[in-house]
Amino acid sequence: MFSSSMIMAILPELLLLTLGLLVLIFDIIWKKKESGRNLGWLTAGGLLLILVVSAFLAKPAESALVFGGMLRYDMMGYVFKMLFIFGAMLTTLFMMDSEKLGNRGESYILLLVATIGMNLMASAADLIMLYLAIETTSIPMYILAGFLRDDKKSTEAGLKYLLFGAMASTVMLYGFSLIFGFTGTTALVAITGFSVPLALGVIVLIMVGIAFKISLAPFHFWAPDVYEGAPTPITGFLSTASKAAGFAVLMRLFIGLFPATGEFADDWTMIMAVLATVTMTVGNVVALSQTNIKRMLAYSSIAHAGYALVGVVSVAKLDAGELGVGSVTFYLIAYVMTNLAAFGIIAAFSKIAGSDEISAYAGMSRRNSGLALAMLVAFLSLTGMPPFGGFVAKVFVFAAAVKAGMIWLALVGILNSIVGVYYYLTVLKVVYLHRMEGENEEAHPIPLTRPYAIALTVLSFAILLIGVIFGPWFDIASSAAQGLF
Amino acid sequence: MTFPILSVIIFSPIVAALIILVMPAERKTEIRMTALVTAAFALILSLWVYLNYDQAAAGYQFIEKYAWMPQLGISLHLGVDGISTPLVLLTGVVMFTGVIISWGIDDRPREFFAFLFLLASGVFGVFVALDLFMLFFFYEIAVFPMYLLIAIWGWVKTREYAAMKLTLYLFIGSVIALVGALAMYFESGMGTFNMLALETANFSPEFQKIWFLPVFLGFAVLGGIWPFHNWSPDGHVAAPTAVSMFHAGVLMKLGAFAALRVGIMLLPVGAQYWSWLILAFATVNVVYGAFIAMTQTDLKYMIGFSSVSHMGLVVLGFATLTPEGMTGAGVQMFSHGVMTALFFAATGMVYDRAHTRQIPELGGMIKPLPFVGITFIIGGLVSMGMPGFSGFVAEFPIFMGVWMVKPWVAILAVISIVITAAYIMLAIRRTFFGEMPKEFEGHITPISVMDKVALTLLSGLMIGLGVFPQIMVPMVATGVENVLRLLGGA
Amino acid sequence: MDFLSSHLLSVILFFPVFAAIVIGFLPKGEDKLVRWTALIASLVPLALTLVLWSNFDANAAGTFQFEENYIWYETINSNFHIGVDGISLSMVLLTTLLTPLAILASFSVKEKVKAYMMLFLFLEMGMLGVFLSMDLLIFFVFWEIGLVPMYFLINQWGSKNRNYASLKFMIYTVGGSLGLLLAIQLLGVLFGTYDLAEIVAGWNALSDSTIVMGMYVSTIKTITFWAFVVAFAIKVPVWPFHTWLPDAHTEAPTAGSMILAGVLLKLGAYGFIRLVLPLYPGQSEHFAGWLAFLAVMAIVFGAFGAYGQYDFKRLVAYSSVNHMGFVLLGIAAAAKAYGTANAHIAMNGAVLQMFNHGLSAAGMFFLVGVIYERTHTRDLRKFGGLFPLVPIYGGILIFTSMASLGLPGLNGFVSEFLVVRGAWGELAGYTAAGMLGLLFTGAYILKGIKNVLHGPMNEEWAHGEHKLTEINTREIVVMIPLMALMLSLGIWPSWLLTVINNAVTALF
């Protein structure tokens, strides 16, 4: 039963694995001291190669179940995989100059393994496979979050993430076992025939797990601490690619289990809508009062999960489904670019300035106008201003909600994005308007190392590109929907 | 294929902004020259569009259409009609004069001009967009650079507060209108954001009645409509001169224009249903704005509130839904744009030298600054609606339109003219005439030749339009005809 | 020449603007050059007016001649439509005559000469425009334009209290024009045109009981009638709207007062004749009593007011109120007796009185200016017995005062007689009361002459640094045309009356 499509279906993962092995080998070969950056370049270059190769070779012609129904080889998996690999590549660049992270081969390997896990999450078509993929992703991330052993906050972050993550996984696993117990199968396509208590139980239990992964309120409380404590590039990866993977699972799972034609579509739609409302509101409102930029972005990323969820809500409506999936995917693409850029800038800045307090950003535009401009791009995109990706993404998500007839949800989203305007602009105000103490910014430049410069340039242009020429991107995003239904 | 003039107009400022951004920050003169050349280029192109608009043919012209996102029916669909052509010209004029006036900005001019041009692109875009999505796209682009422009280069005392207030107000307004636009998109079932197509969508009356107010008011916030005008004077005052010019001169028109284009033209039944309410709001605008302006002692606040009053006339004209009223409103947008640009330019010149805008602290400025004084007076006369100047040409038909709908409103709104005459004359006298305070002697340096060019251009336009209304009004009238056709051939 | 003859009116109207712009480009500091340019430029419209006069068909004075019609504001159907008939022709003549004289009179202005002259020329255009307009909107345009230069003339070149006076002038007149503006708009809305002839026709064709815009036509007519009346009454000015006038005059520079009294006040009266009576014959007739009442109050209170003044200029200013009262009385009589011989006589008197008052008021203000320039006071109590010091000035002053007083043989008598003659048969009571006012006219003028020229001489002016100097040649040159016209109109008024009469008979 072996066919070439089976290889193609896991081509990116195979390549990632190969790259991981290479890094492992070179980590031993190269001398310790200067090896860090070289390994980084190797990883980043390898990821770029993988991205290009898989983009051309691994694109599925039509959806198919492979490996005995464990994986689904379809457009949705493909799109998300490319996104993860891209995210990993940029994260690598950010990691290279990060202290105690960039010069350790292990960190790159862990990142690659996590990426493999995400790839599998995006294409898993069986509950068992799904669970394995989630764990493959999570365990390296637990380690990466607590990677800075000498740093109390980082250690705390790692441990916290591990404990809550493990608990959430357990609950989700319990949900999976319920499904298996009642229906006798773990293959997503084959699961049918829910009774009311079962359906509710499954929805609640699985949602707990996923909500944890994508940090939906009220399962978000771990996120700010972990985000703050973890090394900044890892936080970036955690808040973007990892979150996107969670959304991929969410969509695949729920469309598979409770299709719009089924009887429970309305129930889970309602649950999602409420979750979206709570998440957006909590994220934005709490973000208002933050003084640490990492914590602020942590809450903002919670809010962004809420916006994306607005798009998910419409997935369960008959005629809005495709727009829903397309808009969520588009949102995630834009969000990954934007948030990666934001955390990259923070990493670059705090490396020199040594602080993550918002007040430390005073006078930044005079210390490095290019970095300030990148920050402007990223933050305005987060705010949802054109011509940046965030604007178009938000419009599509809200459009999906309007199309699904949930205008109230769109309005909630809009009110929330207004709150967002306030705190994002406040940061930009500090960057552009306030002065350093002594007003001698010229004496405190912020030099950018090459990896940062490359990564930030790429991301800024990507954000702009998504925001201006959104047609092709939306094509890609909505092709993810094609394989799904 | 013809020369895509409208896209060139929209995108040349953006290109210039990018070029300016990569120039070294120390080369301020080169940066300014680049800015000036770009602005002149945009002005010439917009003038060309204006002169080549075929009034006999009317309708939308210079149409360009590129599929942008066919999946959702979004296209880069550009074109101008009789209403938007003058506004494009206005933007070109304000942009050009704004760059001249900002010559003296010394703090990070690179970023300043880049943001200013981004703003200009957005403004151009809104005026020529025929696609609902693109209209929003450009609308937001026009709004957010304001925040930075005001917050960074604005008046130290209030800039942070004013910039944030302004941004939040405008953002709220626009996103609420956005929901309305999305609702229209799906309700029509045509799967297109093309406004020309949506005009024919025949939305049900119930739908129109529900959505007209959010859409119209959402945009009209930027037009400074009462009771959502509060951001505007604060914003004017805090903004640096060129930004005030842009803000009052062009941005406020953006709100009124979009409210017309999206609110009235796409939801005509809703417009008819709610016109009384809009009329009431606008009347309050007109009268209340004038009263508040009279009580101001800060020159810029006075102009800011007078803008609220004058923009009220624009909305008033639209709300009449009559050919006269709407034509007048269209002309008023141009006239007021030029007028406030002039006011803010002149005020900026006085402030730069006297370092105060408090009317009681000024005096005798006409001696050292005769040119500024005379042009300010001309602006004042326009503001009062003095015949022979553009303000009259614009306001007269508006009042005629109001007569046709609600005679008592016309009588009420006319009060604003007397009040305007009073405060403008007082301000002129106290600022430019009388004794010059001792401490200014020797400090008031003459303005440059470039400043004079800017002031001459602005005041020349107002007199030209006032004496020869034919150079613009018939064009606006053709645009209004189209609106009226949508309103049911009234 | 073809262009000139077919565009004569536009050339007269816009030449001052052209000249003003030229003056604007003259080099700085060349005050003399500016003055002479302005004077010569202002003589051009006068010369052209004389050409106009000679080519004007006096027998057809009731119809508009030299008409020009261009599209101005297509959207609201307003055209740049100008023309002259007998009434406006006389007013145009008055304007183009007084402007050069006023400019000549202002040669003594030392400050900001350039701006001063430019404003004066703009003012001339505004006034001429009002007299020439045959389109309601154009009428309004010029009506308002005239305000601005006047405001600045008072505000910039006036005396101590100029800020207050100029603002009062502005607010009063703008306030008055508001009603006018609204009424014009209403008419425009009703008829879709602003052409005067068309509006008159359409308006009179509307039956009073028709309902337009939710109101009876008669109601609309009454409302707009009063809007027009108030606007014009303020300008005339008619009691009780006259309080801005003495202030404005007192503070205005001499030449400003000359034009203000000589021409600007006529705008109001002209408005009555050109607009109110033709548009609202019914209402005018109905309210003629009220108008006459106001007129008489103006005559009486103007005379009393003048008598009570110790400021020479204020005295002359109040005399304007008094004299313009006769104009309004004539108009009221004409309104009352529309279409009869009495009406024609009264109207003839009113128009002629406008012209005459233009001459005498301009002369009087100028003479006040002459003495003020020398003594820097206008307080009548500080003068006295000046005749021996300045005999020529004294003679001219007496001559002009007599014209103003209505001495037979001089112009004032003719017009006041005609007004009274026409009004007697229609509004006897009011006319009688007006005659009483005339008595006081004599009183205050004599009081003025007495205080200035006769009585015990105030020694202050006889010797030393304050020694009064005689009126100079330039000033005499200003007065000569005025006096010549006063005399000629007193003795042989028919050269002007024919033109006026033909127009009046045709129109009323």
pLDDT digits (tens, 9 = 90+) for C422-455: 888 878 888 888 888 888 888 888 888 888 888 7
Residue A99 φ/ψ region, left for φ over 0, alpha for ψ in the -120 to 50 degree band, beta for the rest: beta
**DSSP alpha helix (H) spans, B247-363:** 252-258, 265-266, 268-295, 299-320, 323-354
User: Rounded to a whole number, what is the distance in Å from the CA of B246 to chain C's nearest CA?
Assistant: 29
Mean pLDDT of A36-41: 81
Whole-number percent of chain C with pLDDT over 70: 99
- d(CA A20, CA B274) in angstroms, rounded, equals 66
pTM (2 d.p.): 0.86
What pLDDT, on the 0 to 100 scale, is given for residue C184?
Answer: 87
Q: How many CB pairs under 8 A join A and B?
A: 96
- The listed range with the strongest mean pLDDT (B181-195, C64-78, C126-140) is C126-140
Measured between alpha carbons, how far is residue A61 from residues A482, B415, C141 in Å?
11, 72, 75
What pLDDT, on the 0 to 100 scale, is given for residue C54?
Answer: 87
- Nearest CB neighbour to B397, from listed C76, C142, C186: C76
- d(CA B79, CA B89) in angstroms, rounded, equals 14
Other C-beta atoms within 10 Å of A432: how many? Answer: 26
User: Rounded to a whole number, what is the distance in Å from the CA of B81 to chain C's nearest CA?
Assistant: 17
Tell me which chain B residues have a C-beta less than 8 angstroms from the C-beta of A387: 137, 141
- d(CA A317, CA A327) in angstroms, rounded, equals 14
Contacts of A409 (CB under 8 A, 6+ apart): A273, A276, A277, A310, A313, A401
Does A417 score more than 50 pLDDT? yes
User: pLDDT-based confidence at A32, cuts 50/70/90?
Assistant: low
By the CB < 8 Å criterion, does B114 face chain C?
no
Tell me which chain C residues have a C-beta less than 8 angstroms from the C-beta of B322: none
User: pLDDT-based confidence at B55, cuts 50/70/90?
Assistant: confident
Mean pLDDT of B464-490: 84
Mean pLDDT of B367-395: 87
Does B148 score more than 90 pLDDT? no
Q: Which of A53-57, A205-209, B439-443, C361-365 has the lowest mean pLDDT?
A: B439-443
The per-residue pLDDT for range B17-38, each reduced to its tens digit, is: 888 888 887 788 888 888 899 9
What pLDDT, on the 0 to 100 scale, is given for residue A277?
Answer: 92
Does A86 score more than 90 pLDDT? yes
> Does the distance separating the beta carbons of B144 and A369 come in below 8 Å?
no
When computed from its CA atoms, the radius of gyration of chain A, rounded to whole angstroms, is 21
By the CB < 8 Å criterion, does B183 face chain A?
yes
Q: Which residue has the higher pLDDT, A184 or B333?
A: B333
Tell me which chain B residues have a C-beta less than 8 angstroms from the C-beta of A381: none
- Nearest CB neighbour to C155, from listed B403, B411, B433: B433
Whole-number percent of chain C with pLDDT over 90: 0
Q: Which residue has the higher pLDDT, A36 or B132?
A: B132
Does C touch B (3+ CB pairs < 8 Å)?
Answer: yes
Measured between alpha carbons, how far is residue A455 from residues A12, A96, A97 in Å?
22, 11, 12
> Does the distance separating the beta carbons of A429 and B160 come in below 8 Å?
yes
Q: Which among C117, C45, C103, C47 has a CA at the least distance from the CA of C477?
A: C103
Measured between alpha carbons, how far is residue B388 from residues B97, B307, C126 in Å?
23, 20, 10
User: pLDDT-based confidence at A35, cuts 50/70/90?
Assistant: low
Other C-beta atoms within 10 Å of C222: how many? Answer: 18
Tell me which chain C residues have a C-beta less than 8 angstroms from the C-beta of B414: 178, 181-182
User: Rounded to a whole number, what is the distance in Å from the CA of C324 to chain B's nearest CA?
Assistant: 27
3-state helix vs strand vs coil in chain B, percent to 5: 75, 5, 20
In terms of C-beta density within 10 A (0-12 exposed, 13-18 middle, 19 or more buried), how is residue B167 classed? buried
Give the tokens for residue A482.
């094609």
Q: Which among B460, B479, B477 has a CA at the least distance from the CA of B339?
A: B460
- Nearest CB neighbour to C182, from listed B381, B411, B476: B411
Interface test with B, best of A382, A421, A457, A479 (most B CBs within 10 A): A421
- d(CA C340, CA C285) in angstroms, rounded, equals 13
Residues 167-196 of C with CB under 8 A from B: 167, 170-171, 174-175, 178, 181-182, 185-186, 188-189
Does C touch A (3+ CB pairs < 8 Å)?
Answer: no
Give the tokens for residue C79.
């055209």
The neighbours of chain C, by the rule of 3 or more Cβ pairs under 8 Å, are B
The per-residue pLDDT for range C253-292, each reduced to its tens digit, is: 888 888 888 888 888 889 888 888 888 888 888 888 888 8
- Nearest CB neighbour to A433, from listed B152, B167, B171: B152
Interface test with B, best of A382, A385, A426, A434 (most B CBs within 10 A): A385
The per-residue pLDDT for range A267-296, each reduced to its tens digit, is: 778 888 898 999 999 999 999 888 999 999
The neighbours of chain A, by the rule of 3 or more Cβ pairs under 8 Å, are B
3-class secondary-structure state, position C311: strand
**Exposure letters A270-302 (e unless 16+ CB within 10 A, then b):** eebbebbbbbbbbbbebbeebebbbbbbbbbbb
Find the closest chain B residue to C145 by CA distance.
B387
Residues 56-95 of C with CB under 8 A from B: 71-76
- d(CA B143, CA B123) in angstroms, rounded, equals 9
> Does the distance separating the beta carbons of B410 and C167 come in below 8 Å?
no
What pLDDT, on the 0 to 100 scale, is given for residue B182?
Answer: 86
What pLDDT, on the 0 to 100 scale, is given for residue A99?
Answer: 77
Mean pLDDT of C173-188: 84
- Nearest CB neighbour to B399, from listed C71, C144, C185: C185
- d(CA B296, CA B287) in angstroms, rounded, equals 15
**DSSP alpha helix (H) spans, C192-243:** 196-205, 217-235
3-class secondary-structure state, position B22: helix
Interface test with B, best of A364, A376, A406, A414 (most B CBs within 10 A): A414
> Does the distance separating the beta carbons of C145 and B473 come in below 8 Å?
no
The per-residue pLDDT for range A44-58, each reduced to its tens digit, is: 999 999 999 988 888
User: pLDDT-based confidence at B231, cuts 50/70/90?
Assistant: confident
The residue type at B189: G
The neighbours of chain B, by the rule of 3 or more Cβ pairs under 8 Å, are A, C
Whole-number percent of chain B with pLDDT over 70: 99
What pLDDT, on the 0 to 100 scale, is given for residue C447?
Answer: 85
Mean of per-residue pLDDT scores for chain A: 86
Mean pLDDT of B245-263: 88
3-class secondary-structure state, position B131: strand
- d(CA A51, CA A65) in angstroms, rounded, equals 23
Polymer length of chain B: 490
Does A140 score more than 90 pLDDT? yes
> Does the distance separating the beta carbons of B72 and A402 come in below 8 Å?
no
Residue boundaries of the structural domains of chain C: 287-508
> Does the distance separating the beta carbons of A386 and B141 come in below 8 Å?
yes
Q: Which residue has the higher pLDDT, C17 or A263?
A: C17
- d(CA A336, CA A459) in angstroms, rounded, equals 10
What pLDDT, on the 0 to 100 scale, is given for residue C30?
Answer: 81
Does B364 score more than 50 pLDDT? yes
User: pLDDT-based confidence at B89, cuts 50/70/90?
Assistant: very high
Q: How many CB pairs under 8 A join B and C?
A: 92
Give the tokens for residue A416.
């929330």
- 3-class SS string, C107-130: HHCCCCHHHHHHHHHHHHHHHHHH
Give the tokens for residue C15.
């030449």
Mean pLDDT of B317-336: 90
> Does the distance separating the beta carbons of C76 and B403 come in below 8 Å?
no
Q: To the nearest 10°, the Cα dihedral for A63, A67, A69, A74? A: -20
User: pLDDT-based confidence at B357, cuts 50/70/90?
Assistant: confident
Does A485 score more than 60 pLDDT? no
What pLDDT, on the 0 to 100 scale, is given for residue A2?
Answer: 63
- d(CA B479, CA C504) in angstroms, rounded, equals 46
Interface test with A, best of B68, B126, B137 (most A CBs within 10 A): B137
Mean of per-residue pLDDT scores for chain C: 85
> Does the distance separating the beta carbons of C163 and B388 come in below 8 Å?
no
By the CB < 8 Å criterion, does C398 face chain B?
no
What pLDDT, on the 0 to 100 scale, is given for residue B490?
Answer: 43
3-class secondary-structure state, position C320: helix
What pLDDT, on the 0 to 100 scale, is given for residue A103?
Answer: 78
Does A11 score more than 70 pLDDT? yes
> Does the distance separating the beta carbons of A475 and B179 come in below 8 Å?
no
Does A341 score more than 90 pLDDT? yes
Cβ-based interface (< 8 Å): residues of A facing B: 365-366, 369, 373, 376, 380, 383, 385-387, 391-392, 395, 398-399, 402-403, 407, 410-411, 414, 417-418, 421-422, 425-426, 428-429, 432-433, 469-471, 474-475, 478
Interface test with A, best of B186, B193, B207, B228 (most A CBs within 10 A): B186
